[in-house]
A and B are shown apart, each in its own frame.
Chain A
Amino acid sequence: MRNQLFAALSGLMIVSMLLSACAPAATPVPPTAVPPTQAPAQPAQPTQPPPPTNTPVPTKPPAPTATPKPKVARVTFQQEPDSLNPLYSQMWFVYVAHGLFLTTGLLTYNEKNEPIPWIAKEIPSKANGGISADDKVITYKLREDAKWSDGEPLTADDYVFTWQMIMSDKNAVMSRDPYDAYVDKVEAKDKTTLVVTFKEPYAPWQAKIFSPVNATQAIPKHILEPVFQKDGTIDKADWNRNPTVGAGPFVFKEWQSGSHLIFQANPNFWLGKPKLDQVFIKIVPDDAAQLAAMKAGDTDFGVFISYQDMPEIEKMGTFNLVVAKSGYQESWFMNLSTDPKTKGHPALQDVNVRKAIVMAVDREKIIQDLLGGRTKVSATFWEDTPYADPNAKLLPYDPEGAKKLLDDAGWKVGSDGIRAKGGVKLKLRYATTDKDVRKNTQVLVQQMLKDVGVDVELINHSSDLFFAGYADGAPIATGKYDIEEHSTVSNYPDPDIAAWLCKEIPSDQNPSGINSQFICDKELDALFAKQATTVDPAARIPIFYEISKIVNDKVYWSSMWNDPDWWAVSKNMVNVKISGATMFWNAYEWDMK
């Protein structure tokens, strides 16, 4: 009978093994349109003559050799994608994958984050008639040769359909921005002419209308419209998990949850079949596992390389470290609320105190010690964009100057070494997420501030609590901090940002507000309102110089360091150019040695 027990256990074990060994192949691939051919790379297959664009052109077909090993580029992701449908995910990793299989943005951005036309034939402007005189109507002319991987043409109808899905109340899409507030209607004049009409002139249109940057690029109408009509929603569409039809250089092949995603070369890609045969995305749990995979040669792309791993990667010699400017800034925000429910420390109401606090911190040293000196402090929030004021000045590291400012403001050093004024001690709550490098930063900052007589309490929250909403009593949204630090960005590459607007202040009447610094500056509000409708970049840039001056002078924002994305690309990869805005934009040009 014990034998029977063992036999039963072994039987169960064998059954499970068979189940899981079979599982990958059993992931149902629904027979939608004609599936793309999955033939392995065959040499001597002539590529079609590429259409005239300003992109590099594949030349002669590869010379026939003995069946070569398939060219598989491997990428490691530290997070599992939640959904591959752009409307249902805001995960950065998903946007990376979109560059492989979807690529239906009207424009895209190159490695210098300059806009280049993609599905649109050219960037609309006043000169070519793409932008109307009153700035309210933008007309895109689409490429005639753009097509989905199943052969269906990619037309303006797909974009109209995408807009309808975003706006439908039956779809719980992640974001309707900017369509809900700014877009009046989207129409297809004909198959290759797309017309977007705005309620008011909308300055950030380039980066945010059907753009891969905010994941509102086109989804296939011929696949998803039938689903919408049948189920009443596309929330649960199979395409969201198995997007077998896309318009990118690679076609989705499979996704095994928790393990990997596979993308196969698309022979029908409208710029010609890519040189690689497959891109394999492996999901690893954390940085340490990614580093181990890099050392073992199990991956070709490492993402979000942390500063402490960089010396080791360079020592390995098999990877190139590539920096992609993404507009992210590791920033300090101070709580300026005066409402008793959410107020910050009263000392922060004095701009000189705010300046002193920043001046007391040796940010360059922190960058040296914790980040290997590989980045720098930013002078403005819009660093690395045309909107950054080249004349903006950084607050210097000047502990003596800081002490003087604090003394002049009435905060005198007490017997315990901590400053106080009117019986109130200068003790600040410094909150951030629980990321390693931030915790270490906190330790160093605490000591630096102690040197000038400011006591600091260190607080850490997990990210999902840090970014939670006012309604959930989240610590930042309800003002339970004095200084908070995290890495954030505008609508990069567009400079627009809503975090300092008066109307975004969270409260009981407005629990969804995101202005968790509780700043209400009428001058700033007016400038932001003006830039939002100034479509001409030449006129818009000076507005941002003014905005930047206010934000810096009043210490609404302070830079800890410029936080670009760091990639590690294997030296076997050829022709890889990574964009900070649209990461894998040139995947169709990649090759491997």
Chain B
Amino acid sequence: MATASEALPRIAEEAIATREPLTPTQLAWRRFRRHKMAMFGLFLLALLIVYAVGGAFVFTEAYANTTDRTLTGGLLHGPSLKHPFGTDPTGRDLLARTIYGGQISLLIGLAAVSVALIVGITVGALSGYYGGWVDSILMRFTEAMLNIPQLFLLIVAAKFLGDKVHNFQAFGREFSGSVIVIIIIIGLDSWMYLARIVRSQFLSLKEQEFVTAARCTGTSNLAIIAYHILPNSIAPIIVNATLGVASAILTEAYISFLGLGVRQPTATWGNMLENANRYLETAPWLWFFPGLLILLTVLAINFVGDGLRDALDPRAMVE
């Protein structure tokens, strides 16, 4: 008869054998969770999204864009009970404006990175997979774009496209055409880094056996790129894209400060900073709140990105 000391290890073995192994995603999530700063960043980001999106249920957009007629003694007021963040020079409530401005800022960040992802992945994948003259031409072009100082290209492009797109309506609200212009410009200015990363991933992965195997079974090139190689190179893309959102938000603030960014009537945190430069001492609430919100958002995204980088590090996956 088996003794107790023999039975236990056998039970344990069976238990271990039948338990399913953790997927890479689950492993990554566990590592991410251990990263205290990253979790804090995630939490902060969630709060900010609730603020920007949920806030729309508390204040209507009409409220955010309307002068408060009950104000006396001028239109510019500091924080008060009725206006917790104060008002802007035309008497509009700043709290409500930062809510709607936040929506646009976050939207610009995500959309710009999407544009960069689409272009960057396409260029990088084609370049890395096909090699040869395709690679040469695409890389020449990428290098050319990289050689132009980012800010100069932004300034010139923003000026060139600035007024060419009309205001448009969406979700029952009116947006300035410059929102689209800024998204495209920032996106087209940051795809190069992604392209290079994707290309180097493809270069190393395409020699692997699973690719050869896929070719043998007659999978088309496009399918190999999209379904086999790309998913395996997703880690650095995710990290880069996340940090790219932070960078896009900062770039939007920078460009709006120079007066070339998003125009009236659409508000963003960045273009609220544009006017606030002159009120530094007299109305500090004008720059303090949008500036703080930008800082917190970018900070949160950077924390999360840092955590993702550690969590998705391929070397750690071998553990």
Contacts and interface: CB of A to CB of B under 8 A. Distances in A.
A370 interface: yes
Contact of A288 (B159, B263, B264, B277): B277
B167 interface: yes
Contacts of A287: 278
Nearest to B91: A369
Interface stretch (A202-210, A213-221, A441-449, A510-518): A441-449
B278 A288 contact: yes
A465 B278 contact: no
A434 interface: yes
* Dominant secondary structure at the B interface: loop
A405 interface: no
B67 A443 contact: yes
B309 interface: no
Interface residues of B, number: 25
A462 B162 contact: yes
A465 to B, nearest CB: 6
B66 A447 contact: yes
B259 interface: yes
Contacts of B92: 443
Contact of B259 (A291, A440, A462, A475): A462
A462 B159 CA distance: 9
Contacts of A447: 66-67
How many residues of A sit at the interface, in one of the four size bands? 20 to 34
Contacts, number: 55
A233 interface: no
Contacts of A436: 89, 275, 278
Contacts of A288: 277-278, 280
A311 B1 CA distance: 99
B265 A440 contact: no
Contacts of B265: 458
Interface in A287-306: 287-288, 291, 306
B278 A308 contact: yes
Interface string B248-292: 000000000001000111000000000101111110000000000
A483 to B, nearest CB: 15
A398 to B, nearest CB: 18
Interface string B69-94: 00000110000000000000111100
B222 to A, nearest CB: 41
Interface of B: 65-67, 74-75, 89-92, 159, 162-163, 167, 174, 259, 263-265, 275, 277-282
10 contacts: A286-B277, A288-B277, A309-B278, A312-B281, A369-B90, A434-B263, A436-B278, A439-B275, A459-B167, A465-B163
Given A370-B89, A462-B159, 14 more contacts: A308-B282, A309-B278, A312-B281, A369-B75, A369-B91, A434-B259, A439-B275, A440-B89, A443-B67, A447-B66, A457-B174, A462-B162, A465-B162, A475-B163
